[in-house]
Structure 1
Amino acid sequence: MPIPVETFFLAPDAGGTLQQQIRAMIADGILAGRLRAGDKLPSSRRLADHLGVSRITVTLAYTDLVAGDYLWARGRSGHYVSETAPTRPDVRRLPNAPESAVDWSARIVGDFSGHGIVGRPEDWRSYPYPFIYGQADPALFDHQNWRQCALRALGRRDFDALTEDYYERDDPMLIEYVLRSLLPRRGIAAAPTEVLLTLGAQNALWLATQVLLGPGRQAVTENPCYTGLRSILGQTASNVLAVDVDEEGLPPDAVPAGADVVFVTPSHQSPTNATMPVQRRLALLDRAGRDDFVIVEDDYEFEMSFLRPAAPSLKSLDAEGRVIYVGSFSKSLFPGVRLGYIVAPEAFVREARALRGAVFRHPPGHVQRTVAYFLALGHYDAHLNRLHQAYRRRRVVMNEAIRAAGLTVAGRGDFGGSSFWMAAPEGVDSEDLAQQLKTRGVLIEPGRKFFAPGRDTRNTYRIAYSSIAPGKIPEGIARIAEAIGERADAAR
């Protein structure tokens, strides 16, 4: 790529001749990694004009750099950083560098890294059978229209949306389409002042906990539950209680007395995929009214209800303004978009907006405007339709493979989703199973980290079909069954 001429400047206190200074400036940029192989240097005339030196001075410096293999000249095209340019040794840690004099264990006020999340290998795509949850399949994504929307958002007409600091505001175009297109699908009517854009559902949940919880407050979660929520709640200094879910999700009667905030995933319980029936949703709202607690509804994967129409959201049934609704584009588009939203009473949104502004202002304007165009031009609905068809086919293949292999489904999503919650025989540790399967090219997610401490089951695991081609599913499931059989035999 061309290197802007503004990248270069001569330090007033630099020693040596002008030619030597220019040579050192460029060589240092290459050694430091700021100028990379293949990058094109400004022409000698343009750099000379920019630095206020003679053109011959720059030409001689370039010639010297070519001799040192820092640059190479290509005919009339100009000078480029050489593919074989010298590199600087890695000196991030010298052999005799002193240790830090700071006792960081005493300085750090919380254990932010101690909360386990379900991870995955960085090279997970290289595994032939990746039953990994929540990752986008490039074969199903609408690259062409997404690119066109992104390019349109880069145009002059959208220059303000691209470059402006919104401070605590959001892109009005995206807010309009969230209000007009997304929320009506969930039966939700809201005003612009009741919607806040976030950096995904994780950030939305963090904002909710920071605004609502603290010392002396009591939070209630499902057990098992989304691991990221447990990590967030660990930062609030509040009392956290976990309620076991059943085949219909969180039982309202099991919510302990004194709850201040209850976190639920009613559309597709995370990770069991249970869908909360409407009558239970009404019972939970009734309990919230009687006991005066607030509900945070994480409505993840409602877009993936391809077997039956999605049940009404808790927010749509809420007559008292007790529900804080969290939505996200991570599963319907791709995780890297990092864009979600909160729908809640204006008093809550006002405080959450101020907190968001203090931390990172707002999600990037270009991302907001690109998603707005993707919605406005109808690409989002077409994309969801493709996902529904593909996921329906993959689910059928997965279901048949599981049945043929004799594996046990522990939680079945009757509305769709993108994964199965599984149970191995008692005595089979799913974490050991996962390590064994990795050596056979299969990735699964052990279930232990989804559970509250001390209340975990060692034999549960999750397998997803969003990131694996249908043709590979049967063989992958067969390998899982084979490994489980081996471990079960060894445990007897």
Structure 2
Amino acid sequence: MPIPPEIFLLPPGSDATLQQQIQQIVAEAIVSGRCAAGEKVPSSRRLAAHLAVSRITITVAYNELVANEYLVARDRSGYFVADTAPRRPRFDDPVRHARPGVAWADRLTRPVRQRDDILRPPNWMDYRFPFIYGQSDPELFDHANWRACALRAVGRRDFDTLAQDRYQSDDPMLVEFILRHILPRRGIHAQPDQILITMGGQNALWMIAQLLLSDGEVAIVENPCFPGLRRIFDQMGHVGRSVDVDAGGLPPERIPEDAQLVFTTPSHHAPTNVTMPIDRRIEMLERAARDDFLIVEDDYEFEMSFLAPPSPALKSLDQDGRVIYVGSFSKSIFPGLRLGYVVGDRLMIEEMRKLRSVVLRHPPSHIQRSTAYFLSLGHYDAQVARLARHYGQRRAIMESCIRVHGLTPVGGESHGGSSFWMRAPEGVDTTRLALDLRADSVLIEPGAAFFAHRAPDRSHYRIAYSSIPANRIQDGMARLARAMERAVGGQGGSAMPND
């Protein structure tokens, strides 16, 4: 008996192509059992008329379903549900008895501790003026070449490499490019056994903390700093000591003598963007040698040094092997890539490799290979140059707006980056200000999440220009300035209680 076309309906609001949507609805009907093996599906003409799409779209979708063994084509008879089509298993509902449930709150021995996070709505793209950090502008991304690299990575030539479980090893093509092209730009020279591919910078920081911090170890973090690092410490039950930064980043003379591990962001301090001077970097290494502590250098945004040439990485000045270097492609390619790398002593990398294998073995091979092609074919360098050019233009517009509206940037010398660290007038709570601005379709990031609990601060905020088109910056900044004036006047400027 032929299957009536009326059982097939296109899903509303789908981002997939019509061909993909048709494949999905037919496959779902087969897997769910609504269409049985041997039944004839509607002809391409009937289904096209029912769905108001072209007949060729239906034909192409049917042919894909034949290739995937959902359908079979019979000459002059049409398409039928294949005997080999997958089926979703069916289970009888179990007999349920009234029993007390599991007290999960008591079973969780290490629940995740809550800490203020960066205030950012998940639907940030729906706002017209998103001054938020770390998100990519789709207009600046090289979609065509990334797609070509991804297709090449899953092609027949690379399939054997991708299909195998690499256990603890990484993609040799990606490692080789990082060693030969990325690290030398930072003055770093390393060997393949001194590098590990990670699932982004935070994954790298977590592994480092797991291996180097135990009870009684003294870890130093910058204040303010990347909130994700403090969350790692919270989950470990470790209390890091915060050292306030100044116009040159982390001051070496403020690092206590009993420090054993120091986390720092010298190229672009998070979140102030200040660049640590060379003499301070040398002083920090001398202090590390004298007091015998290790340094974790998070070089998360070095590619965005478009105002001045990037300073040599702390790792490049290290003669004692005390610096563990963390890099990431999240800001330069796109944040959803979640791919980074660590450079360190061979023994440290070997132990990190073992720890990584406990959780995920290695980052997905096709992601590593796609990235390797994107880097090696020159698309990465072109992407970075394009970002720097547009970011420079946007930064100039934002700097002008800051001056015109009398807003207050803070920090010291910066070589670039993609954001400004700002301070509101006295009495203005930037957390409340950020919530009020949403009604005007403006997003900013209040600074409370970046500070240690011992020194709560609601007067700072961050505004970024990576996600907002240049032609919207002036209007968005004017709205921010008007909201700030209202807050100073007492409308929304009262302090909120600290957590």
TM-based fold match above 0.5:
yes
Are residues 1:275 and 2:259 paired?
no
Deviates more, 1:406-415 or 1:318-327: 406-415
Contact 1:273/1:420 (CA < 8 Å) preserved in 2? yes
Gaps of 5+ in 2: 12-19, 71-95, 495-499
Aligned to 2:444: 444
SS in 1 for 2:38: helix
Look up the match of 2:39: 59
Q: Give the aligned residue type for 2:23.
A: D
CA-CA distance at 1:171 after TM superposition: 0.3
Q: Report SS of the residue matched to 2:193.
A: helix
Identity %: 51
The answer for the alignment partner of 1:419 in structure 2 is 419
In structure 1, the residue matched to 2:125 is 125
- Secondary structure of 1:421's partner? strand
CA distance in 1 between partners of 2:51 and 2:327 (Å): 51
Structure 1 moving runs of 4+ over 6 Å:
40-43, 60-63, 70-76, 78-81, 96-100
CA gap of 1:103–1:309, structure 2 versus 1, over 3 A, is same
- AA partner of residue 332 (structure 1): S
The alpha-carbon deviation at position 251 of structure 1 amounts to 0.5
Q: Is the 8 Å Cα contact of residues 213 and 236 (structure 1) preserved in structure 2?
A: no
Q: 1:382 to 1:98 in 2, by over 3 A?
A: farther
Name the TM-score, length of structure 2 as normaliser: 0.81
Q: What is the identity, as a one-letter code, of the residue corresponding to 2:328? A: S
The letter of the residue matching 1:38 is: I
Query: Contact 1:216 / 1:239 at 8 angstroms: preserved in 2?
Result: no
Classify 1:120/1:390 alpha carbon distance in 2 versus 1 (closer, same or farther; 3 Å): same
**1-structure distance, mates of 2:25, 2:415:** 57
Q: Deviations over 1:32-57 (max 9, x none)?
A: xxxx96227889xxx9xxx9xxx997
Please, which of 38, 49, 63 is the counterpart of residue 22 of structure 2?
A: 38
* C-alpha separation in 1, matches of 2:212 and 2:159: 37
Tell me the CA shift for residue 113 of structure 1: 4.5
Q: Once the 2 structures are TM-superposed, how far is the Cα of residue 411 of structure 1 from its aligned partner? A: 2.0
SS at match of 1:411: coil
Distance 1:97 1:424 in 2: 59
Report 1:168-317 matches (<5 A).
Answer: 168-317=168-317
Q: Which amino acid aligns with 1:240?
A: G
- When the two chains are superposed, the root-mean-square deviation of aligned CA atoms in Å is 3.2
Matches within 5 A, 1:90-129: 101-129=101-129
Q: CA distance change for structure 1 residues 40 and 302 in 2, over 3 Å: closer, same or farther?
A: closer
Distance (Å, rounded) in 1 between the aligned partners of 2:129 and 2:418: 15
Shift of 1:208: 0.5
Report SS of the residue matched to 1:310.
Answer: coil
Q: What amino acid sits opposite 2:289 in the alignment?
A: G
Deviations 1:219-262 (A, max 9, x none): 11000000001101112233410000001000001112211110
Q: Equivalent residue of 1:235, what SS? A: helix
Residues 97 and 465 from structure 1, CA distance in 2 versus in 1: closer, same or farther, beyond 3 angstroms? Answer: farther
Q: Distance in 1 between matches of 2:436 and 2:97?
A: 40
SS in 2 for 1:234: helix
Rounded to whole Å, the distance in 1 between the matches of 2:100 and 2:366 is 40
Aligned to 2:340: 340
CA distance change for structure 1 residues 477 and 153 in 2, over 3 Å: closer, same or farther? same
Residue type matched to 1:401 in 2?
A: C
Q: Contact 1:161–1:366 at 8 Å: present in 2 too?
A: no
On the 8 A contact 2:113/2:234 being kept in 1, the answer is no
Q: Distance in 2 between matches of 1:291 and 1:414?
A: 29
CA contact under 8 A between 1:161 and 1:369: conserved in structure 2?
no
Is the CA contact (8 Å cut-off) linking 1:413 and 1:420 kept in structure 2? Answer: no
Partner residue in 1 for 2:157: 157
Provide closer, same or farther for how the CA distance between residues 340 and 99 of structure 1 changes in structure 2, counting only shifts above 3 A.
farther
> For each residue in 1:55-105, what CA deviation from the matched residue of structure 2 results, as whole angstroms up to 9, or x when unmatched?
997237989xx99xx999979949799xxxxxxxxxxxxxx9989722222
Q: Matches of 1:473 and 1:166 in 2, distance apart?
A: 46
1:457 deviates by: 1.6
Q: CA deviation at 1:108?
A: 1.4
Query: Does structure 2 retain, via aligned residues, the 8 Å contact 1:197–1:342?
Result: yes
Instruction: Sort the Cα spacing of 1:244 and 1:42 in 2 relative to 1 into closer, same or farther, 3 A.
Output: closer
Amino acid at match of 1:105: A
One-letter code aligned to 2:39? T
Partner of 2:167: 167
Query: CA 1:489/1:317 → structure 2, altered by over 3 Å: closer, same or farther?
Result: same
Q: Between 377-386 and 117-126, report the one with greater CA deviation.
A: 117-126
- Quickly say closer, same or farther: Cα 1:355–1:489, change in 2 above 3 A: same
Task: Give secondary structure in 2 for the equivalent of 1:58.
Answer: coil
